[in-house]
């Protein structure tokens, strides 16, 4: 059963999105979420001369702007690939996530990384975990050394010292030429 607010997004014959896509494409996802606020379309006004930020978008409109689905946005949020929300639960404890321009920009950067390196969202989430958790980093590094993908720790330390000495010599040469 569709939520009453979704009728506004599907009425009329002309698409409300300048790309020509009809907003009804994500109606089933927004009906599942059960938005209680009036729908905002992807063609909502951008910040103008007043400098005010555009209103936060519901998940269906955010997904459309990003060229993905509401389901994938929920999956990315579960993986930690969406900035955390500061919104409080509504009504019966449910939280209706709204996406700010900042959120959309962060998700877009994640999508770009995935495309550039041919990785799934779960791999990007794990890469972030490796960077954030020293114990996980140590185990992954150890595994990389065992399978020959990473140089053992002493070699890395020596390379660092060599690079440091080289930079120091280059700096001294530049200073001597002045």
Residue ranges and CATH numbers for the domains of the chain are: 1-45+52-118 (1.10.1660.10)
Where does residue 89 fall: left (phi above 0), alpha (psi -120 to 50 degrees), or beta otherwise? beta
- Count of residues making up the chain: 178
Which three-class secondary structure state does DSSP give residue 17?
coil
Mean pLDDT of 128-157: 89
H or E, element range at 57 = strand 57-58
pTM of the model: 0.55
Alpha helical stretches, state H, the chain: 7-10, 27-33, 59-66, 70-79, 101-117, 121-132, 134-146, 153-177
pLDDT band at 112 (very low <50, low <70, confident <90, very high): very high
Residue 56, Cβ density class (10 Å: 0-12 exposed, 13-18 middle, ≥19 buried): buried
Which residue, among 44, 50, 36, has the nearest Cα to 104 in the 3D structure? 44
Please report, in angstroms and rounded to a whole number, the separation of the first and last CA atoms in the chain.
Answer: 77
Under a CB-based contact definition with an 8 Å cutoff, are residues 64 and 23 in contact? yes
- Tell me the pLDDT band of 157, cut-offs 50, 70 and 90: low
Q: Residue 167 pLDDT more than 70?
A: yes
- Say yes or no to pLDDT of 64 above 80: yes
């Amino acid at each position: 059963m569709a939520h009453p607010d979704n009728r506004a997004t599907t009425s009329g014959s002309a698409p409300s999105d300048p790309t020509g896509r009809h907003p009804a494409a994500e109606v089933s996802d927004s009906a599942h979420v059960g938005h209680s606020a009036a729908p905002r379309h992807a063609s909502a006004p951008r910040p103008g001369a007043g400098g005010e930020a555009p209103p936060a978008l519901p998940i269906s409109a955010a997904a459309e702007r990003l060229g993905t689905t509401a389901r994938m946005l929920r999956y990315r949020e579960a993986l930690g690939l969406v900035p955390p929300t500061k919104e409080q639960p509504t009504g019966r404890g449910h939280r209706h996530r709204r996406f700010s321009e900042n959120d959309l920009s962060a998700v877009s950067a994640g999508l770009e990384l995935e495309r550039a390196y041919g990785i799934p969202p779960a791999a990007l989430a794990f890469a972030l975990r490796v960077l954030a958790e020293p114990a996980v980093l140590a185990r992954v590094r150890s595994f990389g050394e065992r399978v020959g993908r990473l140089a053992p720790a002493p070699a890395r330390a020596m390379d660092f010292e060599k690079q440091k000495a080289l930079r120091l010599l280059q700096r001294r040469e530049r200073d001597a030429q002045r």
